[in-house]
Amino acid sequence: MKPIMMNNVIAIVVLQATILYYLVSAGVCFSGGDGDLRCANEASIALRDQINNLRFAVFNSAAAAANAATERLRTLNTQLQANRVGDRAALRSTVAASEDEAERLRTLNQLLQANRARDRATLRSAVVAAQAAIDDLRTLNTQLQDYRVGDRAVANLADPFAWGNSQGSASSDSPVDVCIVCTTLLTVIRMKR
């Protein structure tokens, strides 16, 4: 039985016993009063003893129930504390694992940032080198065009009739000649620098 219900039962029993006591006392007083008072007095004392015995029995029963409930609560509290200790240990290990994972992610992020910076520097140097190569090719192309114009002019000076044939026609330069000219021009450009 629950402690609250036990308290209610005790209160009802005590109230009934008290009412019974007063009813018996009132019955003795209103029964004429000329009878044997000792008999009424003894009945009253016996009733009081019964009430007191009933009170002690109810109190002892309630105390036993309260002690049992207290012991049960202590047992449950001990189990709860043990569960909390286990839960705290599991939570601590989870937190430690999370912190380790966060540290690992920070380290990986730093490595990634360093790799990105290194890749950017490599890309910049590659872009600069490519731009320099493009500039060199433009310069070579310009010089090659100048060379071809100059070569045609020299050829036209030697043969005035060839001038008309070289204008607007496809070049008859061989790849070997172009390669030699490019190499020579590249060497001249690098010497100027």
Question: 98-137, pLDDT tens digit by residue?
Answer: 899 989 999 999 999 988 888 888 878 877 887 888 888 8
Residue type, 157: L
Tell me which residue has tokens 């000329």. Answer: 34
Non-local CB neighbours of 188 within 8 Å, separated by 6+ positions? 143
121-178 pLDDT per residue, tens: 887 887 788 788 888 888 888 888 877 766 665 555 555 444 444 444 455 556 666 6
Token representation of residue 131: 């731009």
pLDDT at residue 110, as a whole number: 92
CA 35-39-45 angle, 5° bins: 135
Q: Identify the residue whose tokens are 């010089």.
A: 143
Q: What average pLDDT does the segment 50-63 reach?
A: 85
Residue found by looking up tokens 């029963």 in the block: 61
Q: Cα(46)–Cα(43) distance, rounded to whole angstroms?
A: 5
